[in-house]
């Protein structure tokens, strides 16, 4: 019985997250952050090198849309003074504005409003949560990460989270893919069949903005135009931990990630993590 000896040798491998911090977090490529005031030839070169147009350089500095970033790292190579990869997996956000860095005061107001609205709506979804996953035109990479959630490392069932085949039994809709023309109708019907209260999690850069494959005659630029999205999990693909964080955020069991601290800004002014 090799499985028995292996189990005794390796011990418990299931993560304790979210009840305890997980040591794997620092090993994941979380998201790219942009320093305030990013200007000059380096910032312009980084914007030109970005394959998805996630970087815009204005008069006051560059802004990076993490919802369009595919974590290729080109901006970090071209302009390491202004852009860097921040490790971690708590990357999910409650609004599209929250994925644009550095954030503005208007962004913070929109984030706070989205957080309160979702908290009120999903108050009942905390004991037993059922997930319905819809592939709306992905490349398959996000599906591998979602499938890993049911394995022994992540084991979402320990948290009372289960996958269901029927949208009528689902509380949370996980959507992957760019939102192709052929999948818009089925995706909308799935959402409408779910009972209230319900939440939608867009998993991956493709589902948020279209990524590299979006914007063609057959593909969309994310799924927000088809169903109302409550939580966005950036990454191409995001890690299973990031997907799990997004699910827990959708039902109010964890808070948002710790935002990047800006000069002259206190921790109390940041979005609660």
pLDDT confidence of residue 257? 62
pLDDT at residue 139, rounded to an integer: 92
CA distances to 37, 44, 64, 140 from 47, in Å: 14, 5, 9, 28
Burial class from Cβ neighbours inside 10 Å (0-12, 13-18, 19+) for residue 29 reads middle
pLDDT (tens digit, 0 to 9) for every residue of the chain, 273 residues total? 665 666 666 677 899 999 888 877 778 888 999 999 999 999 999 999 999 999 999 998 999 999 999 999 999 999 999 999 999 999 999 999 889 999 776 667 777 777 788 878 777 776 789 999 999 999 999 999 999 999 999 999 999 999 999 999 999 999 999 999 999 999 999 999 999 999 999 999 999 999 998 888 788 899 999 999 999 999 999 999 999 999 999 998 887 664 443 333 433 333 333
Sign of the C-alpha dihedral computed for residues 65, 67, 68 and 74 taken in this order: positive
Contact 37, 99 (CB under 8 A): no
pLDDT on residue 24: 77
Residue 268 has what pLDDT? 31
203, 161 in Cβ contact below 8 A? no
| CA–CA separation, 257 and 272 (whole Å) | 7
Read off the pTM.
0.88
Give the model's pLDDT for residue 44: 96
**119-250: CATH architecture:** 3-Layer(aba) Sandwich (3.40)
What is the C-alpha separation between 124 and 94, in angstroms, rounded?
18
What gap in Å lies between CA 14 and CA 226, rounded to an integer? 36
- With contact defined as beta carbons under 8 Å apart, do 93 and 242 qualify? no
Domain spans in the chain, listed from the N-terminal domain onward = 119-250
Please spell the DSSP secondary structure of 103-152, one letter per residue: --HHHHHHHHHHHHHHHHHTTT-SS-EEEEEEESS--SHHHHHHHGGGST
What distances in angstroms separate CA 177 from CA 83, 115, 141, 266, one per listed residue?
A: 27, 24, 10, 37
Q: What are the phi and psi torsion angles at 184 (to 5°)?
A: -65, -45
């Amino acid at each position: 019985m090799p499985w028995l000896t292996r189990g005794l040798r390796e011990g418990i491998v299931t993560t304790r997250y979210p009840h305890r911090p997980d040591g794997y977090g620092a090993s994941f490529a979380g998201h790219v952050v942009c320093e305030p005031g990013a200007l000059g030839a380096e910032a312009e070169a980084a914007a030109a090198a970005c394959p998805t147009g996630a970087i815009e350089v204005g008069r006051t500095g560059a802004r990076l849309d993490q919802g369009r970033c595919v974590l290729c790292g080109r901006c970090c190579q071209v302009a390491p003074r202004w852009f860097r990869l921040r490790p971690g997996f708590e990357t999910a956000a409650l609004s599209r504005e929250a994925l644009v860095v550095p954030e503005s005061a208007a962004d913070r107001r929109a984030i706070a409003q989205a957080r309160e609205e979702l908290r009120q709506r999903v108050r009942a979804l905390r004991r037993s949560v059922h997930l319905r996953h819809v592939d709306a035109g992905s490349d398959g990479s996000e599906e591998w990460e979602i499938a890993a959630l049911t394995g022994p490392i992540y084991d979402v069932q320990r948290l009372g989270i289960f996958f269901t085949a029927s949208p009528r039994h689902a509380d949370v809709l996980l959507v992957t893919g760019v939102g192709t023309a052929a999948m818009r109708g089925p995706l909308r019907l799935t959402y409408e069949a779910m009972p209230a209260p319900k939440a939608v999690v867009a998993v991956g850069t493709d589902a948020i903005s279209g990524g590299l494959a979006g914007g063609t005659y057959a593909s969309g630029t994310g799924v927000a135009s088809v169903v109302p999205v409550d939580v966005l999990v950036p990454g191409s693909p995001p890690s299973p931990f990031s997907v799990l964080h997004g699910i827990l955020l959708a039902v109010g069991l964890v808070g948002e990630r710790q935002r990047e601290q800006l000069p002259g800004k206190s921790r109390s002014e940041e979005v609660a993590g």
